[in-house]
Amino acid sequence: MKRARQKPEVENEAPQTSQKSKKQKTSLCGSVLGGSALHSSLDWGSLPHHVILRVFQFLPLVDRARASSVCRRWNEVFHIPDLWRRFEFELNQPATSYLKSTHPDLIQQIIKRHADHLQYVSFKVDSSTESAEAACNILSQLVNCSIKTLGLISTAKPSFMNVSKAHFASALTVVFVNSKSLSSIKVDDTPLDDPSLKVLVANNSDTLKLLKMSSCPHVSPAGILCVADQCHGLKELALNYYILSDELLLALSSEKHVDLEHLRIDVVSENPGQARFHTIKKQSWDALLRHSPKVSIVMYFFLYEEEFDAFFGEETPVTHLYFGRAVSKALLGRVGLHCPRLVELVVCANGLQPLDEELLRIAQRCKHLTAMGLGECEVTCRGFLEFVKMCGGRLAQLSIMEEVLIPDSDYTLDRLRLEVSQHLGRMWFPDMMPTW
């Protein structure tokens, strides 16, 4: 009977325990629900504009556009001018590129509502002429713009060169005339011409600081000279060698002109023997250095060996030299003799004659050399080690293909690597040729 009495007691305790746990769960749920209710009571649409704006600034354009459809307030923030100061138009044809393009509806919305807000604008186009023409069409509609920087970028072959010169000039004229505050222009590989440069100068001479116009075949020495004569604030300039002249260097050295900081010169020949290159006088280089003693002068060479006669016959203040094709031992010898300001030297190819003597001359006379790269060349291990000893720890970058180094009776590649590492003060390894 006692067991019979105890059994119901145990059965009665279980519901009590269950009720207690239910109460605990209820109270927990209540607190959670209460927090959720409090959380849901927040009106996301009432967040301050500056908070939403800050969030939008971290979002990609597609996500920002989606977020703008949440409520009216977020849509208002979506159109705040600060979000449209900087924009990159991506124009690609599905048939010729796998890259995404800026949606046409968005482009029209920008032209209608945000053209006067754009300040830092770039156009990336694929290899199709249609994309380049689309970029020109957009430029032609920016009649109320106040652009400060403009970049036209061909991601593959220079498709802007396929656009008619008249169409391209007309599109640029709209921007040049209406902006009046352009400070940076990158128009490499385009049909830019002298009349367009005159329009640029007439409307933006007080603000222009950077002009990159390599491979613009319709620009003449007189056209770039006009820019140098009028744009006294120009600090960076990139151009082809054929429009570089003594007159241009002297114009950049005038008392009215600010110190030039960066000059890039592309020296290019497509067909051997067809191009004849002029020589810039030492006096012109000296004038530029007196006026801008800290200027970086970068030269990219894509010439054939027989076309280098006009270069490095006398002192040249180049700081960075890149040879994209084979160069002779004689030319590298002239570099060692006449380029005392050299900071970086890259030689893609030379031939089967060791460059020991030339490298030692460069190490001895180019006291500022901090970076060296050698591709299809030959240097003995002993000669290379002597070069490193002479340069010492100032060689911050040393990129040498393993195939360049010729082992000898004194030095294997492993021993050379260890000694070079000691002189550089860091671990160093030659570069390996990929096997794929």
Q: Number of C-alpha atoms within 13 angstroms, CB side, residue 229?
A: 10
Taking only the tens place, the pLDDT of each residue in 369-398 is 999 999 999 999 999 999 999 998 899 999
Res 49: pLDDT: 74
Res 207: pLDDT: 95
> What residues pair up with 87 in beta bridges, in sequence order?
121
For residues 265 and 47, the model is more confident at: 265
pLDDT bracket for residue 99 (50, 70, 90) = confident
User: d(Cα 297, Cα 299) in Å, to the nearest integer?
Assistant: 7
Total structural domains within the chain:
1
Q: Is the model's pLDDT at 422 over the cut of 60?
A: yes
Cβ atoms of 76 and 53 within 8 Å: the answer is no
Q: What is the mean pLDDT of residues 138-142?
A: 93
Alpha-carbon distances of 416 from 269, 394, 396, 407, 421, rounded to whole Å: 38, 18, 18, 9, 8
User: d(Cα 306, Cα 325) in Å, to the nearest integer?
Assistant: 12
Taking only the tens place, the pLDDT of each residue in 302-343 is 998 889 999 999 999 999 999 998 899 999 999 999 999 999
pLDDT bracket for residue 100 (50, 70, 90) = confident
Q: Is residue 79 part of a domain?
A: yes
User: d(Cα 231, Cα 240) in Å, to the nearest integer?
Assistant: 19
Q: Is the model's pLDDT at 6 over the cut of 70?
A: no
- Range with the lowest mean pLDDT among 80-94, 125-139, 302-316? 80-94
Q: Is residue 311 part of a domain?
A: no
What's the pTM? 0.82
- Range with the lowest mean pLDDT among 5-9, 30-34, 82-86, 181-185? 30-34
Res 30: pLDDT: 39
For residues 186 and 72, the model is more confident at: 186
Q: Which domain holds residue 70?
A: 47-83
Q: Is residue 63 part of a domain?
A: yes
Res 434: pLDDT: 62
As a residue count, the chain comes to 436
Taking only the tens place, the pLDDT of each residue in 14-43 is 445 445 444 444 443 334 334 444 445 556
| Nearest partner of 303 among 334, 325, 284, judged by Cα | 325
Q: Is residue 430 part of a domain?
A: no
Q: What is the mean pLDDT of residues 104-109?
A: 87
Mean pLDDT computed over every residue of the chain: 86
Structure tokens at 124: 């990336």
Q: Is residue 365 part of a domain?
A: no
Res 404: pLDDT: 92
Q: Is residue 57 part of a domain?
A: yes
Res 272: pLDDT: 67
For residues 218 and 35, the model is more confident at: 218
Residue type (1 letter), 106: L
For residues 21 and 98, the model is more confident at: 98
Structure tokens at 319: 């700081």
Res 43: pLDDT: 65
Res 311: pLDDT: 95
Res 22: pLDDT: 45
Angle at 287 between CA 281 and CA 289, to 5 degrees: 110
Q: What is the mean pLDDT of residues 187-198?
A: 96
Q: Is residue 60 part of a domain?
A: yes
Q: Is the model's pLDDT at 74 over the cut of 70?
A: yes
Query: Residue 77 belongs to a domain with what CATH number?
Result: 1.20.1280.50
Q: What is the mean pLDDT of residues 132-156?
A: 92
3-state secondary structure the chain: CHHHHHHHHHHHHHHHHHHHHHHHHHHHHHHHHHHHHHHHHCCHHHCCHHHHHHHHHCCCHHHHHHHCCCCHHHHHHHCCHHHHCEEEEEECCCCCCCCCCCCHHHHHHHHHHCCCCCCEEEEEECCCHHHHHHHHHHHHCCCCCCCCEEEEEECCCCHHHHCCHHHHHHHHHHHHHHHCCCCEEECCCCCCEHHHHHHHHHHHCCCCCEEECCCCCECCHHHHHHHHHHCCCCCEEEEEHHHCCHHHHHHHCCCCCCCCCEEEEEEECCCCCCCCCCCCCHHHHHHHHHHCCCCEEEEEEECCHHHCCCCCCCCCCCCEEEEEEECCHHHHHHHHHHCCCCCEEEEEECCCCCCHHHHHHHHHHCCCCCEEEEEECCEEHHHHHHHHHHHHHHCCEEEEEHHHEECCCCCCHHHHHHHHHHHHCCCCCCECCCCC
pLDDT bracket for residue 168 (50, 70, 90) = very high
Q: Is residue 344 part of a domain?
A: no
Structure tokens at 167: 């169409």
Q: Is the model's pLDDT at 350 over the cut of 90?
A: no
